[in-house]
Amino acid sequence: MLDIKDLHVNYGKSRVINGIDLTINEGEKLVIMGRNGVGKTTLLKSMMGVLTPESGTISFLDKDVTKLPAHSRSLMGMAYVPQGREIIPDYTVEENLDLGGYAHTKDLAGQKAKILDLFPALEEHMKRKGGVLSGGQQQQLAIGRALMSNPKMLILDEPTEGIQPNVVAEIAHILNRVRNEMGVTIVVVEQNYRFCRKVADRFIMMQKGRIVASGMKEDMSDDLVQKYLSV
């Protein structure tokens, strides 16, 4: 579904991604783990077209998208929930959701109904401004807005950051539903080990801009977490 070959990405003069090769298969849930500053967010932004790589290629649905901007990749079926959520605080919940669907569906009401089935807590807040919601509600809104585009692949950066444990568990459950019921491929950058165990089919560990370990969820050992996640 998405193939990355020999990817190198710079921030200014600093090399952040160092020759990554990665294939993400249709319908899988991939978790990308590692300490702060190892290049996880840079990798996601490169996938989504927010950053342009120095070299290497990115293909999505067998099409080279390396130089395509983010909005073109979005129209192809990629959706991105950035770190910090980035909802529009002065828009209502409903307006935020509508914004995610305008360019992708003629049936906003039908798509909204699907999203509210996933996030019933949002339904009672449809006329409230996004900025007054709790952190957990804002994260659900950000994910819901991304899903309004009916994507083939959903990319999330640190979705549990600053979220209460009960909401974290709910988000894990919802992401599993999104894959199982909607067939959406899930890619998550995350450091919450328990959340990763609940969501992942497969994982990769990053260090210094490289993939240093990978495997299925069953291979996600305490030793690996200690080596690549613990401070």
**Strand, coil or helix: what is 97?**
helix
Name all domains of the chain by residue range, CATH numbers in brackets.
Answer: 2-228 (3.40.50.300)
Q: What is the pTM of this model?
A: 0.94
User: Is pLDDT above 90 for 95?
Assistant: yes
Q: By C-alpha distance, which of 26, 33, 41, 81 is closest to 203?
A: 33
Mean predicted confidence (pLDDT) in 18-26: 97
What is the token pair recorded at 197?
A: 């165990």
Torsion of CA 132, 136, 140, 141, to 10 degrees: 10
- Per-residue burial over 130-147, b = 16 or more CB atoms within 10 Å of its CB, e = otherwise: beebeebbbbbbbbbbbb
What is the side-by-side strand order in the sheet with 202-207?
Answer: 78-81, 153-157, 185-189, 29-33, 202-207, 210-216
Distance between CA atoms of residues 228 and 231, nearest Å: 8
* pLDDT confidence tier of residue 11, bands split at 50, 70 and 90: confident
Tell me the pLDDT of the chain averaged across its residues.
93
Q: What is the number of residues in the chain?
A: 231
Q: How confident is the model at residue 228 (pLDDT cuts 50, 70, 90)?
A: confident
Parallel, antiparallel or unpaired: strands 210-216 and 202-207: antiparallel
Residue 105 confidence (pLDDT) above 80: no
Q: What is the pLDDT of residue 231?
A: 59
Phi-psi region of 84 (alpha: psi -120 to 50; beta: other; left: phi over 0): left
CA distance 167 to 140: 9
* Per-residue pLDDT, 224: 84
Higher pLDDT, 202 or 227: 202
Q: What is the pLDDT of residues 163-207, one digit of tens each?
A: 999 999 999 999 999 999 999 999 999 999 889 999 999 999 999
